[in-house]
Amino acid sequence: MSAEHVPEKVYSVSEITRDIKSVLESEFGSVWVEGEISNYLHHSSGHRYFTLKDSSAQLKAVIWKFAARGLRLDLKDGLMVRAFGDLTLYEKGGYYQLRINRLQPVGVGSLQQQFEKLKAKLAAAGLFDPERKRPIPRYPAAIGIVTSPTGAAVRDIINICRRRAPMIRLVLRSTRVQGAGAAADIVAAIDDFNRYGQVDLLIVGRGGGSLEDLWAFNEEPVARAIAASAIPIMSAVGHEIDFTIADFTADLRAPTPSTAAELATYDAAAIVSFLEQSQTRLPAALKRIVGEYKQRLSRAIESRVLARPEVLLESSYQCFDELKTRFRGATESYLLYQHNRLEMLAQKLLTLSPDNVLRRGYAIVRTTDDGRIITDAASLTVKDQVEITFAKGRRTARIE
């Protein structure tokens, strides 16, 4: 049979994938790879999925649950690591990945370093202070949207706003949200809305992505434009686990664009329902209140008080008389107590009086020259002159 009639080998997708996997695994075996972690996911199964990247390329990686048991690193986006494992091909997805067995930290990735440095700088400048935050309007008439016109984020925001409050006017400022020039475009959009001045709230954001995809919202000009805006700003960048500098600077952070639309609007249907119910309940409530007051007025008209107004004073008169009687009794008791106390003190004073002591036969001896009272005979000498005071009268004497 001639060569041109030999049938060509036709591979199925599974066959060619298995062959590539075999070549890949046998050629490389176990290798060390250094790179920055991005798109990190800790799955509920216990497996860890992420991407290792450098400035020029990226490589998917996985750490199976059994291999992660001895892991001591707190894995997160931006962490520089050195990973040891086997290159393999994930047949179902059709891409190759590094199956990691060991992991060592190298340092923090350049983007994450920039993020932390700028975050610290702006925090020190007061851009994140709660006192600077402006309140989000409860019932906005118009909402401005700063995002890409083609992404899922804008569709989610519009759909939810239309469902919840279709009367709110939505104004979209088409904006680049990724790549070169995106940060400058976001700043320009915020400035445009402030000059426009006809919206009550701005939603600034985009859908999810890697740290690089969201980087425009980590630029300092964007943060300062958000802080300088006269219009309150709600950030809505990425997924719930994504945090950007814009989130810290904004007046309110929404975990996702959909949540931002929920937080920015009110449930118009619920309000209309409440007003309709109130319209029915209000006349009935007013009728009931008027009826209650009519009954109270009728009872008051029929009461003895209005027939004889002096009845209102009768109890006051009686109370006054009782108080007057109690006051008089209390006053008399107090005066009697003070009188008895005074007599008792007077009796004590009389008992201790020097005159009363002298009447019992005692005398007071003083020196005639200086009037000193003598209490000790030894203090006198022969020929000293003394004066002796008796209960009645005085006499002088000389010591012999």
Which of 170-179, 196-205, 238-247, 299-308 has the lowest average pLDDT? Answer: 299-308
The total number of residues written for the chain in this structure: 400
Of 305, 302, 283, nearest in space to 294 by CA: 302
pLDDT band at 310 (very low <50, low <70, confident <90, very high): low
Residue owning tokens 């006054």: 320
Main-chain dihedrals φ then ψ at residue 163, nearest 5 degrees: -70, -40
Which of 143-147, 243-247, 285-289 has the lowest average pLDDT? Answer: 285-289
DSSP state of 373: B
Task: Report, as an integer, the average pLDDT of 194-213.
Answer: 90
Is the per-residue pLDDT at 19 higher than 90? no
Three-state DSSP string of the chain = CCHHHCCCCCCCHHHHHHHHHHHHHHHHCEEEEEEEEEEEEECCCCCEEEEEECCCCEEEEEECHHHHCCCCCCCCCCEEEEEEEEEEEECCCCEEEEEEEEEEEEEECHHHHHHHHHHHHHHHCCCCCHHHCCCCCCCCCEEEEEECCCCHHHHHHHHHHHHHCCCCEEEEEECCCCCCCHHHHHHHHHHHHHHHCCCCEEEEEECCCCCCCCHHHHCHHHHHHHHHCCCCEEEEECCCCCCCHHHHHCCEECCCHHHHHHHHCCCHHHHHHHHHHHHHHHHHHHHHHHHHHHHHHHHHHHCHHHHCCCHHHHHHHHHHHHHHHHHHHHHHHHHHHHHHHHHHHHHHHHHCCHHHHHHCCCCEEEECCCCCECCCHHHCCCCCEEEEECCCCEEEEECC
pLDDT value, residue 209:
79
Tokens of 395: 């006499």
pLDDT band at 248 (very low <50, low <70, confident <90, very high): very high
Is the per-residue pLDDT at 184 higher than 60? yes
- Give bridge partners of residue 82 from the DSSP assignment: 34, 104
**Cα(234)–Cα(252) distance, rounded to whole angstroms?**
5
pLDDT value, residue 195:
95
**Cα(329)–Cα(327) distance, rounded to whole angstroms?**
5
pLDDT value, residue 24:
76
Residue 65's SS3 state is: helix
- Give bridge partners of residue 235 from the DSSP assignment: 204, 253
Residue 215's SS3 state is: helix
**Cα(393)–Cα(358) distance, rounded to whole angstroms?**
11
Is the per-residue pLDDT at 399 higher than 60? yes
pLDDT value, residue 210:
74
Query: Residues of the chain with pLDDT > 70: what percent?
Result: 94
pLDDT value, residue 10:
82
DSSP state of 126: T
Is the per-residue pLDDT at 306 higher than 70? no
Higher model confidence: residue 271 or residue 398? 398
Higher model confidence: residue 283 or residue 331? 331
Task: Report, as an integer, the average pLDDT of 335-342.
Answer: 91
Task: Report, as an integer, the average pLDDT of 218-234.
Answer: 95
pLDDT value, residue 298:
81
Residue owning tokens 């450098």: 54
Residue owning tokens 């929920």: 262
**Cα(229)–Cα(127) distance, rounded to whole angstroms?**
12
> In 165-310, where does DSSP find H-type helix?
182-196, 220-228, 245-249, 257-264, 268-302, 304-307
Is the per-residue pLDDT at 318 higher than 70? yes
Is the per-residue pLDDT at 336 higher than 60? yes
Which among 16-30, 326-340, 365-379 has the top mean pLDDT?
Answer: 326-340
**Cα(189)–Cα(170) distance, rounded to whole angstroms?**
15
pLDDT tens readout for residues 154-180:
999 999 999 998 999 999 999 999 988
pLDDT value, residue 258:
92
pLDDT value, residue 109:
60
Higher model confidence: residue 11 or residue 341? 341
pLDDT band at 282 (very low <50, low <70, confident <90, very high): confident
Tokens of 220: 């300092």
DSSP state of 7: P
The neighbour count for residue 61, using CB atoms within 10 Å, is: 22
pLDDT band at 1 (very low <50, low <70, confident <90, very high): very low
**Summary mean pLDDT of the chain:** 86
pLDDT value, residue 111:
72
pLDDT band at 68 (very low <50, low <70, confident <90, very high): confident
**Cα(254)–Cα(242) distance, rounded to whole angstroms?**
11
Tokens of 42: 């800790």
pLDDT tens readout for residues 80-120:
888 999 888 888 888 889 999 888 877 556 677 788 889 99
